[in-house]
Amino acid sequence: MAHSPPLPPEIIIHILSLLPRPSTSASAQHTLHSACLVSRAWYASAVPLLYRSPRLSGRNFAAFVATVCPSVNAHVRRSELAGEVRWLDMGALVHDASRSLTARLLGRLKGRLEGLVAPRSSFAINCFAALAKCERLRHLDLTLVCESIGLVDLFRALRSLASLDSFRFPRAKTHDARFTYTPDAYSWPPRLRALYLGGAVTDRFVADVGDSLPLTLTDLTLADCWNLAAGRRMELIHRLGPRLRLLRLQGRTTVQAIEDYGSLLRDCPALRSLSLPGDLVGCYAGVYPSHSGPDGLSDGGHAHLRFLQLDAPSDGAKADTWHANSMTPALVRRAVRCGLGGLRYVRVHMDMAWLPAYPVEDGEVEGWQAADVVDLDALLADVARADGPDPDVGRDAWNEPWRGYRPGVYTFKDPDPFWDLGMESWDARRGR
């Protein structure tokens, strides 16, 4: 019996490229592992994809480390698979690694590593030396690190990451008695485009950092900044506003100065994506009836905003505890007609109780605001159809999380794949 010739590597790679994204999902990882067992040809094509963005947990972490860095001595034994790792997500690890092991792992993967999510308890000062050598790193997430990080060591490492696009600042308290602010103290990566600030960020830090951020910064997230006053938050937005294209404010703050947000869109004339707590946006976005007029969207408008996301209520309120500041579909529809003529996509958290369905489709509308949601969905589609293709679409995919979706209304639950900088949104934004 004659054997059929093996498939060319190009065909195998094309077949594997049809796997659903993200490649870090459990099903995709299982499929890639099975493909490695088919034959040598399939192994050669599938194993780089399997190790490109490994799905790590306490069960497989020890085996992963033994594969990519089998020896403590770097000159004794090297693994070719270490060069295949592009994305290292250690966020699911708690006590499975040690600080020395994390530093050693980064040292082995530094050559081609592009994304890193640091672990909770095994990332410390001894990891910065290896981190600074990850010259291709484009995304760095330190939000889960529970140990206080010194600013001197942090910015010394960031100074070497010339390719870094996205940085999620540590949520734990950052304090260093050795740190004295000078004009060049905050040495941010020159190509930084997205910055996440949250947790214990202080007023002093935000006041100092405002003038030192690179001109390439276009995405800003302020999340759960409980030590940050509302006035200081708005001052930072005012400084960065002219260049911001994506802005997200979320979570609780010590001061809910709603009136300070009336000029939010005016400070950010180029903004295309905006995310705010849905129970406050009705007032501080200037679309609430009591705030219309010279300071509202009805006067001048905002032609560039394409994407509006209403997150869960900041106080954890549910649908049965609406208050005067809650954003409703009727108010959004009014804003589209009066000033937000460029709006095409509205995403609403399920706790806002607009709709239980995702996305809006015939026969799936329920709830006390269903009729208004259907009207808003139709209005967004009609306006998009009348205006034709957006000339700015595709110009900067990093700021376009809505690409591939039709104009309209959507609801979502946590976790939020649009905004969390995990492998799913990373793959989508890079066009993989």
Contact (CB, 8 A) for 88 and 82: no
pLDDT at 285: 46
Is omega for the bond preceding 22 within 30 degrees of 0, making it cis?
Answer: yes
Contact (CB, 8 A) for 152 and 179: yes
CB atoms within 10 A of CB 55: 18
Q: How many CA atoms lie within 13 A of 279 on its CB side?
A: 20
pLDDT at 431: 35
Local structure of residue 5 (DSSP, 8 states):
P
pLDDT at 429: 35
Angle between helices 99-109 and 61-68 (to 10 degrees): 50
Strands 194-199 and 219-225 come out as parallel
- Residue by residue, DSSP assigns 228-269 as S-HHHHHHHHHHHGGG-SEEEEES--S---GGGGTTHHHH-T
pLDDT at 355: 62
CA distance 383 to 388: 8
Contact (CB, 8 A) for 68 and 108: yes
pLDDT at 153: 83
Stretches where the chain sits below pLDDT 50 are 1, 254-259, 283-300, 319-324, 356-365, 397-398, 417-432
**pLDDT of 57-69, one tens digit each?**
888 899 999 888 8
Contact (CB, 8 A) for 215 and 240: no
pLDDT at 349: 82
Q: Which residue type sits at 300?
A: G
CA distance 123 to 127: 6
Copy the structure tokens of residue 261: 């947000």
**pLDDT of 300-329, one tens digit each?**
456 788 888 888 776 555 544 444 456 788
